[in-house]
Amino acid sequence: MRAPGSYLKATNCHLLKKPWYRILLVFLPISLLAATDPVQTAKVFEFQTSSAPTITISNLSGQVTVRSWDKDSVRAACTPSSPHVEVDAEPMPASGRADRVQFLTHILDPSVTGEAAKADYMLSVPVGASLEIRNRQGHVQVEGLTGETWVQSVGGSITVVDPSGHLDVHSIGGDVEIDRPAGHVEASSINGSLKFVDPTSTKIRGTTTSGRIIYEGDFAPGGEYVLSAYSGDLDILCPASASFEIHAQSVKGRLDNGVDVIRNQHDATPRGATSLFGTHNTGKARLDLRSYSGTIRLRTMR
């Protein structure tokens, strides 16, 4: 009776005599290594800055997170997904405290796409910093800044938390969420939805084509809120104590009102459109809601 494993040993010895098998053993590990990019480590940048520097980020794809801290400096950890991606940073001026810091992602091999072309950014910046971010794909999150914030994306989502400066955010295909804004807000998306949570801003303008708009919160006295969607719905949820004048209109859609409104007798809405024009409580803010074919819903918080 043949000993256990003797057949396997005999087979391996037989294969080792074959030239093609010895070549395969040599080149197979090399091919496996070539097919897998090595793990990339974060590249860390640290710059002393003014208390209100301008930070610009230009990235093709990846996650970008920016948080405020109480230091007059910028710390950035940038992680490329492959050796084909490189991240550069340039402070201006080059010596002393910088008033501007620019981060730029380079794709070293133009044929590289997808996951291999990504770079993730994690930044801590002064609370008074202003931001300019271009990130074509991937989520962008900004937290706690008092300076101006401008974000542009093609397919990525955008979340901004506790901004008190002017906010200007745009995504073509991604959703946008803005929590507790205190400054003026301009937000838009073509296919994505917009969400505003607990704002204290006196001016908000939001526009989407096919996405939905959600507004949850009160309206500041003297504030102006203009929200429009072409085919998407608008959902407004506010406290019963909210005070506003409203002009809501949907050309082909519906209007679902659950708020007590004293209607204006001089409503000049075009014939055939569904509209609501009037005042809730004392009308201290102005609310303008428009949709072509979507439904406009108004509700009070319970």
Q: pLDDT tens digit string along 127-186?
A: 999 999 999 999 999 999 999 999 999 999 999 999 999 999 999 999 999 999 999 999
pLDDT at residue 231 is higher than 60? yes
One domain, residues 18 and 60: no
Q: Which of 117, 134, 151 is the last residue of a domain?
A: 134
Q: Report yes or no on 62 lying in a domain.
A: yes
How many domains does one find in the chain? 2
Q: What angle do CA 142, 146, 151 make, to 5 degrees?
A: 40
**Mean pLDDT of the residues in the chain:** 88
SS3 state at 280: strand
Q: Report yes or no on 76 lying in a domain.
A: yes
Tokens of 229: 């969607």
Q: Which of 134, 161, 180 is the last residue of a domain?
A: 134
Q: What is the reported pTM? A: 0.84
pLDDT at residue 15 is higher than 70? no
Other CB atoms within a 10 A radius of the CB of residue 170 amount to 19
**Residue with token string 């044929």:** 111
Q: Report yes or no on 31 lying in a domain.
A: yes
Q: Report yes or no on 128 lying in a domain.
A: yes
Domain range enclosing 27: 6-35
One domain, residues 125 and 101: yes
Assess contact for 219 and 236: CB atoms under 8 A.
no
Residue 269 binned pLDDT confidence (cut-offs 50, 70, 90): low
One domain, residues 94 and 73: yes
| Nearest-angstrom CA–CA distance, 60 and 134 | 8
One domain, residues 29 and 43: no
Q: Report yes or no on 189 lying in a domain.
A: no
Q: Report yes or no on 239 lying in a domain.
A: no
One domain, residues 17 and 63: no
